[in-house]
Amino acid sequence: MKIGLSSDHGAFEYKEILKEMLKEEGHEVTDFGCCSAEAVDYTDTASAVARSVALGENEKGIVMCGTGIGASISANKIKGIRCALCSEPTSARLTREHNDSNVLAMGQRMIGVEMMKDIVHAWLYTDFSNGERHKRRIDKIAELER
Give pLDDT, residue 56.
Answer: 98
pLDDT at 122: 98
Whether the predicted model's global pTM rises above the 0.95 cut: yes
Are the CB atoms for 36 and 9 separated by under 8 Å? Answer: yes
- The catalytically annotated residue of 27, 35, 98, 121 is 98
pLDDT at residue 84 in the model: 98
**Which pLDDT does position 28 carry in this prediction?**
98
CATH topology for the 2-145 domain: Ribose 5-phosphate Isomerase B; Chain: A, (3.40.1400)
Residue 9 annotated in active site? no
Any alpha helices (H) in the chain, and if so which ranges?
A: 12-24, 42-54, 69-75, 89-99, 113-124, 132-145
9, 27, 35, 65: the catalytic one is: 65
Identify the pLDDT of residue 91. 98
* Boundaries of every domain in the chain: 2-145
Q: What is the pLDDT of residue 132?
A: 97
pLDDT averaged per 10 residues, the chain (length 146): 98 98 98 94 98 98 98 98 98 98 98 98 97 96 94
- Does 98 qualify as catalytic in the annotation? yes
Give the pLDDT confidence score for residue 2 in this predicted structure: 98
